[in-house]
Amino acid sequence: MRVLVAIGSNLGDRASHLHSAVDELNRRAGKVCQTSSLYTTKPQYVTDQPQFLNAVLELETKLSPNELLLCFKDIEVDVGRTPSGIRYGPRILDVDILFYGTEIYQAQTSVGPLHIPHLLIHERDFVLRPLLDIAPDFIHPKLNKTIRQLYSELKSNIKTPPVPVLNLGANKHWVLGKKTYVMGIINATPDSFSADGKEHLLNPNVAVVQALDMIAAGVDIIDIGGESSRPGADPVSLQDELARVLPIIKGIRAKSSFPISIDTTKSLVAKAAIEAGANIVNDISAGKFDPSMIKTVAALRVPYIMMHMRGTPATMTTLKNYSNVVDEVINELILAKADAMAQGIPTWNIIVDPGIGFAKDKDLNLLLLRQVNTLTQRCAPCPVLIGASRKKFLGTICNKSNPKDRTFGTAATCSAAVCGGATIVRVHDVAEMVDVVKVSDAIWRD
């Protein structure tokens, strides 16, 4: 049976509690097939309490409605919920049955009355907004209206709508849709195409200083990589990659709690980096290079950037044949996203990247940049990252052979990304691109 379930928390580490709910639902109740984004929401009914973090999910189950309710109550208690004595008051975790297929059902159970569909769906923005992510056209079996219709009717009465967020751990999050985030690149490689990583290998403190300079310039996250992905790059051993990136992550963490992402295709590097203080895993292979990567990221409960590419850095330049590059990249990203969800990464932790410059030539890159809006719409609700900084096709267009001379070309791609609704741009020239993004946001997002 397909069941739609609401989960929420407003005490403690809210995202961690929701992750625990998903894990326990998979273990006890069936299979979580998809999830919405995470939303911060104003409390309703009892307003003098902290904001909630809410989501909805689709569960395939063989349990009856009564069995499911008992299961949900047990999960709430096991995750840490205790009776507050206040109806609609603060709670570690709330797990509610919204719809049980299209059934209309009510019963008196050992833990209280059960009504299916849930009686208050139509008046709860914190339920209807996340439902739009996964079931916008589902028809309420009693009200005979779609979720889209119900939210549209309620929306005019909402003073503070639910806000989609990307969780970065310990109740830190990015608000999505309000601004474009700038990711600053720090390479710790001797063979990066942008030729900017050799000094970091000799002295990690140089990279730490560069990161602090980026933070002062207005960057939103630092992306640290220890293996080049340029065409023809040689593979790097696990030990060498760890030795390159961990001192930089630890050095930044000693001075700042600023968000960090680890650019790696290796699950053991991802795990060590997160344990050292990184917040996000950025994987150009979307899990293809390491069969343990997706399960590892799922267990780490961190956001995962999944990039589109074909082949490897050694072979990708021979794999540029597409009948429709935009459709094919989107479809392959959607398949990769489905695989990640099947292996335990919730939708709210998935970010997609079309892989500008990876198994794509100049014209293919330009086609993708022209249609970032198509990518963001079809991959929704997942945020989109665009990484075109200093890429070879910009040098071809601008006649700039030195990657460091491609700043203005990069600026144009960042502006195109913002216009298309991308959430993150990944760049080398942070100070310049922060200004480009600010102005682009003012034009297209304000």
May I ask the CATH class of domain 2-169?
Answer: alpha beta
pLDDT at 314: 82
Give me the amino acid identity at 356.
Answer: I
- Distance from CA of residue 320 to its chain's centroid? 27
What would the two tokens of residue 419 be? 């216009």
Pick the CATH number of 177-444 from 3.40.50.2000, 3.40.30.10, 3.20.20.20, 3.40.50.620: 3.20.20.20
Assess whether 426 carries a catalytic annotation: yes
> Which residues of the chain are in CATH 3.20.20.20 domains?
177-444
E-only strand ranges, 202-345: 221-225, 260-263, 280-283, 304-307
pLDDT at 81: 87
Q: What is the pLDDT along the chain (446 residues), one digit of tens a residue?
A: 999 999 999 999 999 999 999 999 999 999 999 999 999 999 988 888 999 999 999 999 999 999 999 999 999 999 988 876 677 779 999 999 999 999 999 999 999 999 999 999 999 999 999 999 999 999 999 999 999 999 999 998 888 999 999 999 888 999 999 999 999 999 998 865 555 555 555 588 999 999 999 999 999 999 999 998 888 778 899 999 999 999 999 999 999 999 999 999 999 999 999 999 999 999 999 999 999 999 999 999 999 999 999 988 888 888 899 999 999 999 999 999 999 999 999 999 999 999 999 999 999 999 999 999 999 999 999 999 999 999 999 999 999 999 999 999 999 999 999 999 999 999 999 999 999 999 999 999 97
pLDDT at 200: 55
pLDDT at 302: 98
- Of 81, 124, 392, 426, which residue is the catalytic one? 426
85 by Cβ neighbours in 10 Å (0-12 / 13-18 / 19+) ranks as: exposed
> Which residues of the chain are in CATH 3.30.70.560 domains?
2-169
- Of 337, 391, 392, 406, which residue is the catalytic one? 391
Assess whether 391 carries a catalytic annotation: yes
**113: Cβ–Cβ under 8 A, 6 or more apart, which residues?**
106, 107
What would the two tokens of residue 198 be? 């050799």
